[in-house]
Amino acid sequence: MLPERFHHRDTQRDRGRKEIAAMERIVFLERNTIQANFRRPSFDHEWVEYPETLADQVIERAREATIIISNKLSLGEPQLSQVPDLKLIAIAATGSDCVDLNYCRRRGVAVCNVRGYAANAVPEHVLMMILALRRNLIAYRRDVQHGLWNQSKQFCLLVHELHDIRNTTLGIVGYGSIGRSMARLGESIGMRVLIAERKNASSTREGRTDFEEVLRESDVISLHCPLTDETRELFGRAEFQSMKRDALLINTARGALIDDAALVDALKNGLIAGAGIDALREEPPVHGSLLLDLDLPNFIITPHIAWASNEAVQSLADQVIDNIEAFVAERPQNLLT
């Protein structure tokens, strides 16, 4: 498929090369990852977009860009060093682990991300998983499909425990915009909310709770932190052993926050009561995953869609363009470098 090219103002074929070169060239490398309407920036520009871009296509497609819009593509020094006129990378996501920020700082390339767009979508997805697991939805659905209700001697088939979430404790790890929204949602339905301090922190900030105490006290732990060297495999066997046996773990952030093998062991051996996962280490998981092979009624996996309500995705698209316009107007916002 040929890329789309768009000039905000109609340009004549006979425009001089100098004037054309003065326009910003915006290259959107992964257009099909964002199913929303992107308005075009208000300044004179050339817009080039590709539905998808493979790793070995990045240099060729981005070479003449002054602005790159990316999502999950890996953009490191080998690729970015071949884009001589690059000024800005506008990440169409909150997470920035796919972009080499250190190289961008050294090179003087600005990087911005979008923030807060999924502050409703992600917490609602988390709540859905909590309710499904606490009410044993998957197990009951299987039982009905297998005809067990038909054989029941009572009007209901009550063979799995059902638990309310009111008056339970919700532990939140990661307290950005989504974590704060999750806290408000939890409180609104009667949950006690604990905000975890960083793991191994030497002191506990006001309003936070020691990480180990959150593990011990929480009935549900929800992860909302970025993936960094500090948070990689934040949850492993030791953390699962510290949790309540009837606790749930929900991860709608990044897959590598969790040791997959330790999670499988925790679920199979009853160290925790259940888990809901919306992110894997490799996405898409073309090489498979231990978690994809896990078929348990107390485990829910969704394909990284917690962020993707129609409303949230449109908000993301609008913010990407807001960020680009602000940068060109020399009023940059949401900068990471």
Q: Which residues are catalytic?
A: 254, 283, 304
Angle at 33 between CA 113 and CA 106, to 5 degrees: 35
213 φ, ψ to 5°?
Answer: -65, -40
Give CA–CA dist 197/207, Å, rounded: 9
Residue 45 per-residue DSSP state: E
CA dihedral 41→45→104→84, nearest 10 degrees, is 170
Burial profile 64-95: b = 16 or more Cβ within 10 angstroms, e = fewer? ebbbbbbbbbebeeebbeebeebebbbbbbbb
DSSP labels for 199-268? Answer: TT-SS--TT-B-HHHHHHH-SEEEE-----TTTTT-B-HHHHHHS-TT-EEEE-S-GGGB-HHHHHHHHH
Residue with tokens 């498929």: 1
- Cα separation, 248 vs 233, whole angstroms: 17
Do 316 and 117 meet the contact criterion of CB atoms below 8 Å apart? yes
110 sits in which H/E element: strand 110-112
Cβ-count burial of 108 within 10 angstroms (0-12 exposed, 13-18 middle, 19+ buried)? Answer: exposed
